[in-house]
Amino acid sequence: GNIAVFIKPLRVPKGDRGYITTDVLLALDGTDKPEELLYVITSPPQYGQIEYASYPGIPITSFSQMDVARQIVCYVYN
């Protein structure tokens, strides 16, 4: 089916982290299965990295919409 993706800027001060929430990133496909909506990072951020909050310092290459809803994904601005 069709997928709608809504994106807003995430402002993070240098040296800090910002959580990627559904206010910043939201994908919907009409199935009510956010755990099956997967984001794949094909080009890492230039000035930081995306990581799980519980594993600081370890960059990730993918995460789900459910991870975003649970507020466990963050951007770290190095």
Residues 24-76: tens digit of each pLDDT:
999 999 888 888 899 999 999 999 999 999 999 999 999 999 999 999 999 99
Record the pTM: 0.90
Nearest to 68 by CA among 15, 7, 2: 7
Amino acid at position 35, single letter: E
Per-domain residue ranges for the chain? 4-77
pLDDT band at 2 (very low <50, low <70, confident <90, very high): confident
pLDDT of 67 reads 97
